[in-house]
C-alpha cells in the first residue's frame, strides 16, 4: 500500500475513529522528509538570492551565486594592486525605506453591514476586539520585523495559531489549569517556508510546509516527545577570508554563512487543506525520526467559513506569476557592483596620478626590489651609470571627469529604483531647487514610489484582521471581557461573544504617516484656524468630524456632555439586553436617553427579544417610560418656576388627572 493510499485510508471520513497515528509513525516521518527534500531542491536558487541580498546588505559585496556548488562564494582578486573598496549604497537605502515604512501602522476598522443599531454595535465590537488583539500581540513591533524581512527577501509571513493555554484563567479540571484560549501571531521568515509550487499565488495555495529549528528541550516542553538532538545548520555572520581594500590597506567584511548549533532538531509541519486525497485536511508535525503530532485541519478562516490557510504574506514588490515576491535589494545589486567598480577604478587612477609609474632604464646599477619597496621618498638618491637615461615618470594625460559622470548616473539609478532620493535619506536639496513647493514635490515623488510597498503592508494587515476575527468566531466560547480605550480616551469594559463579531468588511481606518510629517500636521492645524473651522460658532459636530478626518484628534468629545449622555444611554441598552434594570439618574439628559432607547427598540434585534424574552422587552418599555415621566415632570417644574417669576400664581385645576403613562403592548408582552 502506497503512502497516499495509507493517508487516504487513515483519514477516510467513513470511519473517522480509525486514526492510528503512532502505528504509522514511520510513514508520516518518511512522507515529511521526502516532501521537504523535494521542495528544498525546487527552492534552492531562490534561497541563494536571499543569502546574496543579506551579504550585500552587510557589506560583503565581492561574492556571487555558484549554481554548481549551491552556495554564495567569494570572488578572488585578479591583481594585487586591484582596489576592492566597498561603497555600500544599499545599507542606507534599506535603512531609509525601513524608517519610512515603519510609519505605516494599520489600524483595523470594521464597517457595519447596515445602519441598524445591531449591526453598528457588532461592527464596533469587532473593531475593538481586533484592536485589543493587536495590542496584546505587540503587532507594531512584529510588523516592523516583517517589514525588515520583506525588504531583504521580498516578503515575510505571519502565522496565526489558536493557543488553548493563552488568555484568562477560567478554572481547573483534573488538577490542570484551564484557560479561555487566545490567538497567537508568529513572524515567519521566508527561509522557513516551503510551498508546493513556486509559481502560484498565495491565495490559491492548498498546502504548505513550515520548518523551524528547535532545541530538544523545547520540543519536549511543547509536544511531550523526546527527540535525539544533533547539530543542525543555521545562518550567522563571519569574517570573509577574501580581503577588501587594496594592496596598501587590507580590510575584511562580514558574510552570511551556515553554521551549526548542538542539541537541536528541525520541526517540520506539513499542512494541507481539505481535498480529494484528504477530505478533512491534514497536519503532520515531525522532528527527526519522531512523529510529534498528526491531526485533521481545523482552521475555518477562509471566505464564508470555509477552511483556509492561517497564513498572511506581506510583500515588498509583487512578482506576478510567482509565489515569492521580489526585494528592492535584488534590483539594486547589479547597480551596486557597477558602482563599486567605477569608484575603485577611479581610486586606481588617483593612485597612478599620486604615486606615478616610474620609467627606469635597466643598466644593472638600480636596485629594483628596493625601489619597489621604498618608492621615491623625498631626498631619495638614484644612482645611474654613465651615459644612461635618467629615470622619469610616465605622463598620465587622462582626466577623472568620465568617472565622475558615471558615478552621478549610477547614483541616479539608485534613487530611481529604490524610491529613496538624497533628499529623503540625507535631506540634500537638489541643485537649483529653492522654493518650498518644489521641495514638497520632490518629497511627494519619493513617497509615491514607496506607496506600493505601503499598500502591500495594509493589504496584508486586512487579511490578518479577517483571519483573527474568523478564528475568534470559530474557537471563542462563552462570554469574554475586553478592556479597551474609547473615543474619549476613557478605559471601558466590553462583554462579547463569538456571535457578536463580523468578519468580512474590514478596512484600514487611518492613513499612514508616509504622506504627512509632524511639521505638516502643525501647518494643517494653523490653516484650519485661519479658515475659521475652530471658531465657537461652527457646528461642534462638523468641527469634531473634520478634526477626525485630518487625524488631529477628537479632543472636543472629551468635554462634549451630549456625547457622554449618549454613551451612558448605550450602556443602559446593553444592561437591559442582559436582563438588568438600570434606574434613570437625575443628571441624565432624558431627551438623549429617550432617543437612544427608542433607536434601540426600533431595531430588528429588539423584535427578536420581544418574541424570545418578553420580560426583557417589558423592562425596556418601563425604563423608557420612566425617562419620559421624569422629563414631563421637569418640564412642568420649569413652567411653574417661570410663572412664579413673572408674578403669576400657578393654577392647577382641582382633580387634574395624573399624566398618562405609556404602557407596553399587552398583546405582545404578556404572552409568556
Three-state SS across 127-191? HHHHHHHHHHCCHHHHHHHHHHHHHHHCEEEEEEEEECCCCCEEEEECCEEEECCEEEEEEECHH
Q: Which of 331, 325, 332 is nearest to 90 (CA)?
A: 332
Q: What distance in Å separates the CA atoms of residue 112 and residue 119, rounded to the nearest whole number? A: 5
Alpha helices (runs of H) in 318-399, residue ranges in sequence order: 328-355, 368-374
C-alpha grid cell, residue 17: 475513529
The confidence score (pLDDT) of residue 34 equals 94
Q: How far apart are CA 436 and CA 434, in angstroms?
A: 7
Residues whose CB is less than 8 angstroms from the CB of residue 310 and which lie 6 or more positions away in sequence, other chains included: 159, 160, 161, 299, 301, 467, 471
Instruction: Give the three cell numbers for residue 255.
Output: 558574510
Cα–Cα distance for residue pair 109/117, rounded to 1 Å: 17
Concatenating the DSSP letter of every residue in 182-251 gives EEEEEEE-GGGEEES-TTS-GGG--EEEEEEEEEHHHHHHHH------EEEEEEEEEE-SS-EE-SSSEE
Mean pLDDT across the stretch 407-412? 91
pLDDT tens digits, residue range 586-624?
889 999 999 999 988 988 788 888 888 899 999 999 999
What percent helix, strand, coil does the chain show, rounded to 5?
A: 45, 20, 35
Does position 121 have pLDDT exceeding 60, yes or no? yes
Nine-digit cell string for 105: 501602522
Query: pLDDT tens digits, residue range 32-56?
Result: 999 999 999 999 999 999 999 999 9
Q: From CA 185, how far away is CA 139, in angstroms rounded?
A: 8
Summarize the confidence of residues 286-295 as an average pLDDT.
92
Express as a percent the part of the chain with pLDDT over 90: 37
CA 481 vs CA 118, 138, 477, 567: distances in Å: 19, 19, 12, 18
What pLDDT does 241 receive?
47
**How far are the Cα atoms of 124, 371, 567 from residue 487, in angstroms, in the given order?**
11, 81, 10
- Report whether pLDDT(403) > 60: yes
Q: How confident is the model at residue 422 (pLDDT cuts 50, 70, 90)?
A: low
Residue whose cell numbers read 559585496: 61
Residues paired with residue 265 on neighbouring β-strands, in sequence order: 214
Q: Considering only CA atoms, which of 617, 500, 430 is closest in space to residue 125?
A: 500
DSSP, collapsed to helix, strand or coil, labels residue 294 as strand
Contact by Cβ (8 Å): 495, 481: yes
Q: Please provide the average confidence, as pLDDT, over all residues in the chain.
A: 80
pLDDT value, residue 558? 42
Alpha-carbon span 563 to 115, nearest angstrom: 19
Contact 120, 112 (CB under 8 A): yes
Confidence class for position 203, pLDDT limits 50, 70, 90: confident
Q: What is the pLDDT of residues 159-201, one digit of tens each?
A: 999 999 998 888 888 888 889 999 999 999 999 999 999 998 8
Residue 651 is placed in which grid cell?
Answer: 393654577
Does residue 104 contact residue 589 with C-beta atoms inside 8 Å? Answer: no
User: What's the whole-number mean pLDDT along residues 392-399?
Assistant: 71
Locate 252 and state its grid cell.
575584511
pLDDT average, residue stretch 497-526: 69
Per-residue pLDDT tens digits for 517-540: 556 666 666 777 777 766 767 766
Cell 382633580 sits at which residue? 655
Q: From residue 412, how far is each of 173, 189, 437, 626 by CA, in Å?
A: 67, 31, 22, 74
> How many C-beta neighbours within 10 Å does residue 415 have?
19
Q: Are 605 and 613 in contact (CB under 8 A)?
A: no
Could you tell me the residue ranges of all domains in the chain?
3-9+19-322+449-481, 516-556, 560-650+659-672
Beta strands in 252-357 (DSSP E): 254-272, 282-287, 290-295, 311-315
pTM of the model: 0.74
Give me the pLDDT at residue 361, please: 73
Per-residue pLDDT band at 486 (split at 50, 70, 90)? low
What local confidence, expressed as pLDDT, does residue 201 receive? 87
543: alpha, beta or left? (left if phi > 0; alpha if psi -120 to 50)? alpha
Amino acid at each position: 500500500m502506497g503512502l497516499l493510499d495509507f493517508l487516504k485510508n487513515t483519514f477516510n471520513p467513513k470511519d473517522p475513529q480509525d486514526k492510528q497515528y503512532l502505528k504509522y509513525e514511520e510513514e508520516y516521518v518518511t512522507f515529511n522528509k521526502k516532501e521537504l527534500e523535494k521542495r528544498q531542491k525546487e527552492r534552492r536558487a531562490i534561497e541563494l538570492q536571499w543569502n546574496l541580498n543579506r551579504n550585500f546588505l552587510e557589506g560583503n559585496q565581492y561574492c556571487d551565486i555558484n549554481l554548481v556548488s549551491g552556495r554564495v562564494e567569494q570572488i578572488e582578486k585578479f591583481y594585487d594592486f586591484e582596489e576592492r573598496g566597498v561603497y555600500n549604497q544599499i545599507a542606507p537605502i534599506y535603512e531609509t525605506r525601513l524608517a519610512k515604512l515603519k510609519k505605516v501602522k494599520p489600524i483595523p476598522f470594521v464597517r457595519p453591514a447596515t445602519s441598524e443599531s445591531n449591526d453598528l454595535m457588532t461592527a464596533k465590537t469587532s473593531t475593538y476586539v481586533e484592536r485589543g488583539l493587536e495590542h496584546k500581540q505587540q503587532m507594531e513591533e512584529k510588523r516592523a520585523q516583517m517589514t525588515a524581512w520583506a525588504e531583504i527577501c521580498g516578503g515575510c509571513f505571519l502565522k496565526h495559531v489558536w493557543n488553548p493555554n493563552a488568555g484568562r484563567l477560567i478554572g481547573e479540571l483534573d488538577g490542570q489549569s484551564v484557560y479561555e484560549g487566545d490567538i497567537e501571531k508568529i513572524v515567519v521568515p521566508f527561509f522557513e517556508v516551503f510551498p508546493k509550487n513556486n509559481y502560484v499565488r498565495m491565495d490559491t495555495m492548498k498546502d504548505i510546509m513550515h520548518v523551524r529549528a528547535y532545541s530538544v528541550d523545547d520540543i519536549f516542553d511543547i509536544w511531550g516527545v523526546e527527540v535525539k538532538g544533533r547539530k543542525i545548520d543555521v545562518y550567522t555572520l563571519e569574517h570573509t577570508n577574501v580581503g577588501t581594500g587594496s594592496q596598501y590597506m587590507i580590510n575584511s567584511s562580514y558574510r552570511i554563512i551556515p553554521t551549526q548549533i548542538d542539541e537541536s532538531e528541525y520541526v517540520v509541519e506539513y499542512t494541507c487543506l481539505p481535498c480529494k486525497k484528504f477530505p478533512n485536511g491534514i497536519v503532520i508535525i515531525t522532528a527527526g525520526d519522531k512523529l510529534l503530532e498528526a491531526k485533521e485541519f481545523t482552521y475555518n478562516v477562509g471566505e464564508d467559513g470555509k477552511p483556509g490557510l492561517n497564513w498572511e504574506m506581506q510583500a515588498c514588490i509583487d512578482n506576478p506569476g510567482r509565489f515569492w515576491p521580489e526585494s528592492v535589494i535584488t534590483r539594486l545589486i547589479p547597480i551596486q557592483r557597477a558602482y563599486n567598480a567605477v569608484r575603485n577604478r577611479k581610486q586606481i587612477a588617483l593612485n597612478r596620478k599620486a604615486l606615478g609609474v616610474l620609467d627606469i632604464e635597466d643598466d644593472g646599477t638600480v636596485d629594483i626590489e628596493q625601489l619597489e619597496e621604498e618608492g621615491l621618498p623625498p631626498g631619495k638618491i638614484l644612482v645611474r651609470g654613465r651615459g644612461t637615461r635618467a629615470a622619469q615618470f610616465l605622463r598620465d594625460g587622462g582626466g577623472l571627469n568620465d568617472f565622475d559622470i558615471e558615478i552621478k548616473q549610477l547614483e541616479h539609478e539608485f534613487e530611481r529604483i529604490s524610491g529613496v532620493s538624497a533628499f529623503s535619506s540625507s535631506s540634500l536639496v537638489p541643485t537649483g531647487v529653492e522654493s518650498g513647493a518644489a521641495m514638497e514635490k520632490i518629497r511627494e515623488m519619493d513617497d509615491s514610489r514607496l506607496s506600493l510597498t505601503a499598500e502591500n503592508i495594509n493589504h496584508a494587515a486586512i487579511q490578518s484582521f479577517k483571519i483573527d476575527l474568523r478564528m475568534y468566531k470559530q474557537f471563542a466560547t462563552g462570554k469574554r471581557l475586553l478592556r479597551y480605550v474609547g473615543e474619549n480616551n476613557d478605559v471601558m469594559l466590553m462583554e462579547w461573544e463569538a456571535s457578536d463579531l463580523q468578519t468580512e468588511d474590514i478596512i484600514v481606518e487611518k492613513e499612514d504617516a508616509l504622506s504627512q510629517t509632524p511639521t505638516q500636521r502643525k501647518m494643517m492645524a494653523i490653516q484650519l484656524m485661519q479658515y475659521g473651522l475652530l471658531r465657537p460658532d461652527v457646528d461642534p459636530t462638523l468641527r469634531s468630524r473634520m478634526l477626525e478626518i485630518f487625524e488631529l484628534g477628537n479632543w472636543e468629545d472629551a468635554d462634549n456632555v451630549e456625547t457622554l449622555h449618549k454613551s451612558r444611554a448605550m450602556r443602559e441598552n446593553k444592561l437591559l439586553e442582559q436582563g438588568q434594570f438600570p434606574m434613570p439618574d437625575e443628571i441624565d439628559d432624558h431627551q438623549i436617553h429617550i432617543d437612544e432607547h427608542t433607536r434601540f427598540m426600533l431595531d430588528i434585534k429588539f423584535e427578536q427579544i420581544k418574541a424570545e424574552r418578553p420580560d426583557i422587552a417589558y423592562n425596556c418599555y418601563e425604563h423608557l417610560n420612566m425617562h419620559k415621566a421624569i422629563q414631563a415632570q421637569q418640564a412642568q417644574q420649569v413652567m411653574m418656576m417661570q410663572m412664579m417669576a413673572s408674578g403669576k400664581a400657578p393654577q392647577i385645576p382641582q382633580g387634574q388627572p395624573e399624566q398618562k403613562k405609556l404602557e407596553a403592548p399587552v398583546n405582545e408582552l404578556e404572552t409568556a
